[in-house]
Structures are given as structure tokens and as C-alpha cells.
Amino acid sequence: MRGLYAITDSDNLSTQELLPVTEEILRAGVAALQYRDKSGNHDKRRYEADRLRELCGEHNCLFIINDDVQLAKETGSDGVHLGRDDCDCKTARDELGEDVIIGVSCYDRLEAAQDAVADGADYVAFGSFYPTESKQKTATAEPEIIIRAKERMSVPIVAIGGITPANCRVLVESGADLLAVISSIYRADDPYSTVKEFNRLMDVVK
């Protein structure tokens, strides 16, 4: 796992807007797509997740569900991403099986990342590294935590929070394997070209 980790901007886009923009993003080449929707509308979430999973399959991209182990199971996603208020990694593993990818948000806590890896997490995420409108009241992380995490664990490290092509270099140089982004691609004038620029800066060929 290395490259751009796109997260859907479902809070601001309708289904009719989300799907074509996401296809452009996937066409440009991303390592993984996370479906993040907090609406609580199960029918909408199931429909969008099914369509996005199909698109990811067409573009050789991992499909991850945010927060919802049951939805991940129902849609046959490649994995699930867990936050601080979700179930623990072991519970998700028991429900989804050994082949499913499990990621865990660790914010600015290296110890939480080490615990998550010990519990079987396949990747860990740190952030927010920069101010972000997508998530309010997030912990502030410094690039040094990526360096320390790379020294202590072998799973992929994800950086998240306000990341743009203009500010991502220090995170890449610190060792981030994946850059998780929402607004900088979904609200870009040209999402396809923005993804291509991220890939160039990360030296990822897609």
C-alpha cells in the first residue's frame, strides 16, 4: 500500500455528483478509496458503497469502508477503517475474517498505533497534520510521529488532515506510505490532474 488514499466527500456531494467525480479520481490512479458517509441513511449508504466498490474493481483500487463493520461485510469491501469510537480491531477481525484490511486512526498517539498493530491492524493513520474543514476537533500531529512510527512498526503509515500538493512533501519525506485526502481532490477544479500531481510528488506511477 503506497500512494494516494482518497476519502469520499459524501457530506457535500449528492450521489449524482459523488460517483462521476470519484470515477475521475480513480481513473487518475489512487491506492485506496475510503467510503466515508455519516448521514445514517442506510439505503443511500448501501447503494453508494455498492457502486463505489464496482468502480474500485474496475480501476484496481482497494475499497475501504469507514467506521461500519456491517456495511463492509454486506458489500464485500476490501477492508474497514476504525476510529476511536468504533469497535476494536480484534472484534472487526472476528467479524470480517483474516483477509480483510483493517486500518485504525491513531491521531497523535504513537502508543495507540503500537497497540493497534499488536491487535492486528494492517495499517495505522496519524493526523490531523494541517487544519482541515472535513473533520473538526481533531488532534494535531507533527511529521516526527511518522518517523518514529516507521522506526517501530512495519505496517503502512497513513497521514491525514488538510493535506495538499503544496504541503505534502514533508510528510512524504518523513516516510508516510499513504496520503489520505478529501477536500484537496474532491473540491479541486480538476480532480484528475490534482491526483496526478500527488502521484508525481510521491513518485508513484499510476
Whether 51 sits among the annotated catalytic residues: the reply is no
Q: CA 114, 204, 191: angle at the middle one, nearest 5?
A: 100
Catalytic member of 51, 135, 148, 196: 135
Whether 10 sits among the annotated catalytic residues: the reply is no
- On the CB side of 134, CA atoms within 13 Å amount to 25
The three three-digit cell numbers of residue 113, written as one number: 498505533
| Alpha-carbon gap, residue 122 to 116, rounded angstroms | 9
Bridge partners of residue 157, in order along the sequence: 124
Bridge partners of residue 7, in order along the sequence: 34
Backbone phi, then psi, for 107, in 5-degree steps? 55, -110
Backbone phi, then psi, for 94, in 5-degree steps? -60, -35
| Alpha-carbon gap, residue 65 to 3, rounded angstroms | 18
Whether 148 sits among the annotated catalytic residues: the reply is no
Catalytic member of 105, 128, 134, 174: 105
Q: What is the set of active-site residues?
A: 36, 105, 135
